Structure 1
Amino acid sequence: MKTTRRAFIGTSVAAGGLALIGPGAVRAQEAAADPAPEQKLKVAHVGVGGKGSSDTLDLANGNLTQALCDIDRRTLDKMAAELRERGQSDFRLYTDYREMFEKEKDLDAVTISTPDHNHAPAALLAMEQDIAVFVQKPFAHTIYECRLMTTMARQRGLASQMGNQGNSNSRLREAVEVLHAGTIGKVRELHVWTNRPVWPQGMDRPAGEDQIPDYLDWEAFIGPAPMRPYKGDRTYHDFNWRGWIDFGCGAIGDMACHTLNMPSWGLELGYPTSFWLEDSSELKTEAFPHWTIVRYEFPERVSKVTGETLPALSMTWYDGNDEHMHRPPADLFPDGNVPRTGSLMIGDAGVMVSPGDYGTDYILFPEDKFAEFEAPERTIPRTSGHMSEFVNAVKGGPAALSNFEIAGFLSEVVLVGCLALHTDKKVEWDGPNMRAVNAPELAPYIDKAYRAGWELPGRDILAI
């Protein structure tokens, strides 16, 4: 019934003069004051604070919110009030997404913007009900979860999108086209870095236990992770969960889905063949370190865009905040200016620097060579927005360009960097089979254990 309803939405929108085939259609749809009821998606939202606030409001705009879910009742009540002010009121409130998906049986799409460790369990429950999913970066908590989410979305033919919003920026897509065109020649060296974390890392678990506030569903916050005592002072909730291995993916997981995205797309990186932890601050059992430097090696590969052979490439990832900042050496930059966060691609015919978090700008060097540079012909469609691209896909339009086939793969490459923290070896990586060839000790981090009652749905479709 749900698939039929979505097909009707797509058909009725197209019949009304909106051909859902490109950004012009999206802009026309967004310009409508209030889409007809039959053109509105029935949507729900899991995690409605922080980045989840904008995700919720973006998808709720022009659609019908059926349910909100958040482990913090203060956050839940705040978002409910905001939606009511915007004219929506016929929705239910939950603190446990398992209960929400059990009771809400007529959803078309959902946003998932929880701590990282709850992304995959929530997304897979949704997809088992044929609900299209928009999930925040870093997509999932383990490499196996990434592969399973990608596999389920493919098998069920579901629209999907990851929340690395820079991916929909026209300037980012132009940078990708510049790299595809061979503007800076063959690239053999890549550097990517961030000024994160801006949350605590490098700590031990605090002793003792505090009383759980009456507004907090601690059971649902912990979800599939091992149970631990609640501690106040924002030890875990809110925001600071990012630095804890059980809940987050550290600075590399939080930011590389942004900063690595454009270079990965433009250079067609594929799976690395090896990786290792080059250096870091003190490693802790339960938290990510203050800073890390991780090396990746990517093999020679054939471009799917041009058919040319692309050379093997070495990538270095750096993270650390202002107190522990680690970045590429200044002498690698033609103008000596090292942005606080960004990426650097060194080719045999030029250099590209992309300053900032999201890959949405680029500078070409040497300056005299590229003084009169004109961007190549467009080969990648442009869009009016990241959520619009997702909504368009749900309604039968083209696949969003951070759909799970693309985002899941990128996130697997990102999470390899997290694996490097758990071994002192240079790891031989078999990406297609999710296997650390010479480091079996990494198996529990590639696919982890889940707490009883919070098991990972859908395991029967993907063996490891």
Structure 2
Amino acid sequence: MFHIINDISNMEEIMNISRRTFLKTAGAGAAVFSILPRWAIGKEPAPNSKINVAIIGCGGRGTASVNEAGNFDRANVVALCDVDWGRAGGSFNKFPNAQKFKDYRVMFDKMGKDIDAVFVCTPDHAHFPAAAWAMANGKHVYIEKPLARTFWETQELKRIAKKTGLITQMGNQGHAGDGWRQVKEWHDAGLLGDVEEIHHWTDRPNVFWKQGLIERPSQNHNSGNIDWNLWLNVAPDQPFSPAIAPFAWRGYQDFGTSSLGDMGCHFMDLGYSAFGLGLPSKIYGTRTEMNDYAWPAKAQVVYEFAPNKYHKKPIKLFWYDANDKPKDLKNFKQDAIDRCSNGTAIVCSKRNVFCGNAYGGGVSIYPFEEFRDLRKSNALPAPTIERVGGNPHHEFLRGCISGKQPGSNIVEFSADFAATVLLGLVPNFVPEKELKFNGRQMKFTNSKEANNFLKSRYSYKTEFLPEKI
């Protein structure tokens, strides 16, 4: 029977209840945090030539982590975990000697001493519990974007990562790429001038899943290979529906973070990293009609970032989804925007920036003709920022061996970056009101209602969480 609490503001209470529940059901060794050897917390290279890797959620998106870990010459894939063994079949076949699990708690209980690093590739609602459990067991952890489902979860993962000192990484391809590095170099060299506005637009969710006035399933369907209880994890009990799993969960508040959470950690990294935006000072949003189960069919969000040491003037960032796009941007031709289904336009005082790649690649100074002229005349600055040289999976694995934190590690970058993205979900619940956010206090200062949506709207099933860390 699940143990549900009514207030998740006290993490100590969660962890203590969780420990009592889990010790009764799965043995005493699964979630005990202990002092780690220096190599296991990224202080020295591992004594062995290879590190042992586990993948939680090895079907679906997790196959990328399976493949990249398998292609890394200093990694052994020793454990594969997925609640849907049918969908995970390809990964199982690729590594037939890896131990197979449905429950990550059982995996850590049985193989805790044999795993060095973990990839968390579950749906959004299970990112926080699985990653917290991994770090509680002293494992370096890679977590797919958007790191967590709520603002509070991002900050709690930051606290745990800082306390444990483990190597961490949020998996967003763009941060390992050259795009934001090039834009920062152009900006630092004075080619762009002052940044005024950043516009991001996407065709999600319409292309891949639906959002809008969708009702909670009332009839239980056959879940097939999916262990539905384990799939739900910390989320409320409800009937299984193929409209939710295995793929379309992103459109539902219990599990996903809408099109903004899905793509925001790709798009928004470009300006966030290049211009040192930090947490927003104001957020305003509009949306179509919404119920208490699914995210709205369409939303627009405006973030404002106050001046800081990286940018001397306020910067506004606009988010459009469901095929909405910006109009009448200064010095942009509308057809350049309209013919791009997923894109970014950065309006600056000297030269603009355009990116037609959802992952921040292929950036260009706009107009394109001027960019070509700058390249021909060698007027673009030479690279000054270190390049990753590879994908985020390999950046993480190299960090586990060398002790060097990846660029998108939780403590220094991805917790606050993902928190910024997820703050854009709050106007769905408090629409058409300018919400003022205090980054030091980590709360909205002009809306008690808005602060209610920084945490989960439901009570966690605490047996899926580790003990207090």
Is 2:320 aligned against 1:318? yes
Residues 64-106 of structure 1: CA deviation (Å, up to 9, x unaligned): 222111111202333111223xxxx1x2211122222222212
Is 2:283 aligned against 1:275? yes
Specify the alignment match of 1:39 in structure 2: 49
SS of residue matched to 2:462: coil
Cα distance between partner residues in 2 of 1:192 and 1:402: 21
Contact 2:180 2:271 in 1 (8 A): no
SS of residue matched to 1:282: coil
Cα distance between partner residues in 2 of 1:206 and 1:455: 23
Specify the alignment match of 1:452 in structure 2: 461
Contact 1:190 1:343 in 2 (8 A): yes
SS of residue matched to 2:37: helix
Specify the alignment match of 2:37 in structure 1: 3
Once the two structures are TM-superposed, the CA of residue 283 in structure 1 deviates from its matched residue by 1.6
Residues 328-347 of structure 1: CA deviation (Å, up to 9, x unaligned): 11544533310221211111
Cα distance between partner residues in 2 of 1:152 and 1:11: 22
Contact 2:60 2:88 in 1 (8 A): no
Contact 1:71 1:220 in 2 (8 A): yes
Cα distance between partner residues in 2 of 1:229 and 1:379: 53
User: Residues 7, 110 of structure 1: CA spacing in aligned structure 2 closer, same or farther, 3 A cutoff?
Assistant: closer
User: Residues 456, 295 of structure 1: CA spacing in aligned structure 2 closer, same or farther, 3 A cutoff?
Assistant: farther
Is 2:382 aligned against 1:377? yes
User: Residues 454, 343 of structure 1: CA spacing in aligned structure 2 closer, same or farther, 3 A cutoff?
Assistant: farther
After superposition, residues 208-357 of structure 1 pair within 5 angstroms as 208-231=218-241, 234-277=242-285, 279-303=286-310, 309-320=311-322, 325-332=323-330, 334-336=332-334, 337-338=336-337, 339-357=340-358
SS of residue matched to 1:395: helix
Cα distance between partner residues in 2 of 1:9 and 1:43: 19
Cα distance between partner residues in 2 of 1:397 and 1:108: 13
CA-based RMSD: 2.3
Question: Any gaps of 5 or more consecutive residues in structure 1?
Answer: 14-37, 304-308
Residues 281-335 of structure 1: CA deviation (Å, up to 9, x unaligned): 22222111111111111111112xxxxx521111111111xxxx10111544533
Number of residue pairs aligned between Structure 1 and Structure 2: 419
- With 127-136 and 281-290 compared, the bigger mean Cα shift is at 281-290
Once the two structures are TM-superposed, the CA of residue 414 in structure 1 deviates from its matched residue by 0.2
For 1:56, which of 56, 66, 82 is the aligned residue?
A: 66
User: Which one has more relative contact order, counting CA pairs under 8 Å at least 6 apart?
Assistant: 2
- With 449-458 and 359-368 compared, the bigger mean Cα shift is at 449-458
User: Residues 377, 74 of structure 1: CA spacing in aligned structure 2 closer, same or farther, 3 A cutoff?
Assistant: same
User: Residues 136, 7 of structure 1: CA spacing in aligned structure 2 closer, same or farther, 3 A cutoff?
Assistant: closer
For 2:94, which of 76, 82, 93 is the aligned residue?
A: 82
Is 2:423 aligned against 1:423? no
Once the two structures are TM-superposed, the CA of residue 139 in structure 1 deviates from its matched residue by 0.6
Residues 40-80 of structure 1: CA deviation (Å, up to 9, x unaligned): 11111101122211112212333222211111120233311
For 1:101, which of 108, 114, 139 is the aligned residue?
A: 108
Contact 1:450 1:456 in 2 (8 A): no
Question: Any gaps of 5 or more consecutive residues in structure 2?
Answer: 1-34
Contact 1:138 1:254 in 2 (8 A): yes
Contact 1:195 1:341 in 2 (8 A): yes
Counterpart amino acid of residue 335 in structure 1: K
Q: Give identity over the alignment, percent.
A: 29
SS of residue matched to 2:424: helix
User: Residues 169, 99 of structure 1: CA spacing in aligned structure 2 closer, same or farther, 3 A cutoff?
Assistant: same
Is 2:408 aligned against 1:402? yes
